[in-house]
Amino acid sequence: MKCSAKGVCAAKGFTANGIHVGIRDQDPARKDLALIYSEQPGTAACVYTTNKVKGAPIQVTKAHLKNGTAQAIVVNSGNANTCNADGIEIAEAMCDSAAHALDIDPEKMMIASTGVIGQPLPLGPITANMAKLAAGLDQDGHTDAAQAIMTTDTHPKEYAVTFELDGKPCALGGMAKGSGMIHPNMATMLSFVTTDVNISAAMLTEALHEVCADTYNMIYIDGDTSTNDTFGVLANGMAGNACITEKNEDYQIFKKALYEVAMHLSKMLAKDGEGATKLLTCKVTGGASVKDAKSDRHVGSFFDPAEVCDLWRGCQLGPDLVCHWICRCQSGYRSGGC
């Protein structure tokens, strides 16, 4: 498995673009509308926020993915389109506008929004620039798209890998955003992965949930989860491999590729957390099972802001031996031993 620099455009048949339309401010350098497009429809699956309050884009995407297929993804930053009376209407209108520019069925659109909650999302700037966005789709547009979904991120986050299935060269790449409101199970994050692997919707969904549990659902910055979190995958099958319809060797190779991309992007998110100066990892050994290792008995208190005291936070910034032993001491009463 090799690393690729093409992000969401690493796989065959995918193009992307990101432009400034003025959703959040008038600085033309701040892109705020992204589009990812596949030459042909493919299987699609998503994992969403566990927050009981869910943004309108999530509701629309869920409805569109009932048949497990999609062809394009439109994303805006600067406004979450959440807790708005006309939120679903706006999200559907964005899908209609993008679908018209791409000449595809609006039901084949996935949509996501990120940014300020509770403020009306202005549709005018989006629809007025959708044709320009679509016209600029390019195999080198992956970084523009990654920049367009950023909010408080300090840099775009992309990663991709190449591998083989059934003797066919395949690729899988993704982009992500999120710097604050990051907490296990999902966060104020968006991540989209594209691949040319031929895989059934059922197997894609299975792999997505398995990988998400050990990547995006294991990162923490500040203890909050958002209303719009979405991790989506679109697979167009253009690699030409035999369709993956069961958990065979090809499924395991695909899942490994998805895990590698998701893990790299997850670490990028955590490292770029608001105010973060270090990336800390917690390794749990000796658990009776994976579920037990993830339980509060072992790591739960480290992810609970109410239980993480100032001494603990301060020790994470100190490289000396005293800080090391204080951390060991606190781990003893926080998680039942070290």
Active site residues: 188
Helix 321-334 with 310-317: angle, nearest 10 deg: 140
Identify which of 175, 180, 159 has the alpha carbon closest to the alpha carbon of residue 115: 180
- Cβ atoms of 307 and 301 within 8 Å: the answer is yes
Q: In angstroms, what CA-CA distances link 41 with 51, 99, 154, 196, 205? A: 30, 12, 33, 11, 16
CA distance 161 to 69: 23
Distance between CA atoms of residues 137 and 103, nearest Å: 14
Which residues, 6 or more positions from 153, have their beta carbon under 8 angstroms from its beta carbon? 177, 178, 179, 272
Contacts of 55 (CB under 8 A, 6+ apart): 80, 81, 82, 87, 113, 117, 227, 228
